[in-house]
């Protein structure tokens, strides 16, 4: 059942990153208290870069038990892990190389030495192994971005959802064209979801997705719903300009 949405408008993209980092720390502590570990889906793009860097610095880096935190990817560009476009490279440079997180706790999507099909099957297997023999697995948190066209992860407008948890994209409108992505169904298993959206080029889509006219715009980002709490939208002032004053 839908838990609704929470819209939080911070001033700048730095403020968005700080708010996201604080929420990461709080959710990690809660999940570790309840279940002994915290599993997170990460996204690529420019907006999360600041968040990952912040998490690797005091006070945030000292506020979490990194050995109990497990990092997965909501999607990945199908390029080598040392390619400038790689989301894994972004996470490695900003977070893994800096914070005391055991490398075995990070599960990059494979992008080398196999086909897209092989990589999708391999990642699906990694998720199933991590959660064990259960049908009701769920990541604790998904950090997502939204593109100016309303895509999220590598789920693009006008395309059906995937039937498997990990889907293949060969013609992404956002380069690079080949990608792997978790399906909407898999993302929507996440107990908590936090969107990070900044910049004036997103304002029209933010209005469409979060506006209060009650209509369902059908964009992929609009169809994301956390399973255990309200879906959180962290916006900077620029991306929120189109929202009704009551929502701001």
The residue (of 147 and 167) whose beta carbon lies closer to ligand 6PG is 147
Verify binding: residue 153, ligand 6PG, rule CB under 6 A.
Answer: yes
CA triplet 3, 181, 168: central angle to 5 degrees?
135
The residue (of 101 and 142) whose beta carbon lies closer to ligand 6PG is 142
Verify binding: residue 168, ligand 6PG, rule CB under 6 A.
Answer: no
The residue (of 39 and 43) whose beta carbon lies closer to ligand 6PG is 43
How many Å is the maximal CA-CA distance in the chain?
A: 52
Verify binding: residue 236, ligand 6PG, rule CB under 6 A.
Answer: no
Verify binding: residue 178, ligand 6PG, rule CB under 6 A.
Answer: no
Verify binding: residue 242, ligand 6PG, rule CB under 6 A.
Answer: no
* Rounded CA separation 115/108 (Å): 15
Residue 183 C-beta-side C-alpha neighbours within 13 Å? 14
Which of 73, 102, 103 shows the shortest CA–CA distance to 90?
73
* Rounded CA separation 178/110 (Å): 13
Verify binding: residue 47, ligand 6PG, rule CB under 6 A.
Answer: yes
Verify binding: residue 19, ligand 6PG, rule CB under 6 A.
Answer: no
Size of the site for ligand 6PG (CB under 6 A): 15
Q: Which residues contact 234 (CB under 8 A, 6 or more apart)?
A: 8, 10, 16, 19, 20, 194, 195, 196, 197
Cis status of the peptide bond prior to 59, with omega within 30 of 0: yes
CB of 142 to ligand 6PG, least distance (A): 11
The residue (of 21 and 66) whose beta carbon lies closer to ligand 6PG is 21
Stretch that binds ligand 6PG, among 27-35, 37-45, 94-102, 110-118 (CB under 6 A): 37-45
* Per-residue x/- track, 52-91, ligand 6PG (CB under 6 A): -----------------------x-----------x----
How does DSSP assign 210-242, residue by residue? H-SS------GGGG---SSSPEEEEE-TTTTTT
DSSP label at 63?
A: S
Contacts to ligand 6PG from residues 133-152, by CB under 6 A: 145-147, 151-152
N- to C-terminal Cα distance for the chain? 25
Residues that bind ligand 6PG (CB under 6 A): 43-47, 75, 87, 145-147, 151-154, 174
């Amino acid at each position: 059942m839908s838990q609704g949405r929470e819209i939080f408008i911070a001033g700048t993209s730095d403020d968005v990153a700080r708010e996201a980092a604080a929420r990461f720390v709080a959710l990690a502590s809660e999940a570790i208290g309840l279940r002994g570990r915290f599993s997170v889906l990460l996204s690529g793009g420019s907006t999360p870069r600041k968040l990952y860097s912040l998490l690797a610095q005091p006070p945030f880096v000292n506020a979490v038990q990194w050995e109990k935190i497990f990092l997965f990817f909501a999607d990945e560009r199908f390029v080598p892990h040392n390619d400038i476009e790689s989301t894994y490279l972004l996470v490695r440079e900003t977070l893994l190389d800096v914070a005391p997180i055991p490398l075995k706790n990070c599960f990059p999507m494979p992008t080398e030495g196999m086909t897209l099909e092989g990589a999708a099957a391999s990642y699906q297997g990694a998720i199933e192994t991590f959660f064990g023999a259960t049908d009701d697995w769920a990541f604790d948190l998904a950090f997502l971005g939204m593109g100016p066209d309303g895509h999220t992860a590598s789920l693009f407008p006008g395309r059906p959802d995937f039937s498997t948890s990990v889907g293949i994209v060969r013609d992404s409108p956002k380069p690079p064209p080949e990608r792997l992505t978790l399906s909407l169904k898999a993302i929507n298993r996440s107990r908590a979801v936090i969107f990070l959206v900044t910049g004036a080029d997103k304002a029209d889509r933010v209005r469409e997705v979060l506006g209060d006219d009650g209509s369902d715009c059908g964009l992929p980002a609009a169809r994301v719903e956390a399973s255990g709490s309200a879906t959180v939208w962290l916006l900077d002032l620029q991306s929120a300009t189109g929202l009704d004053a009551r929502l701001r």
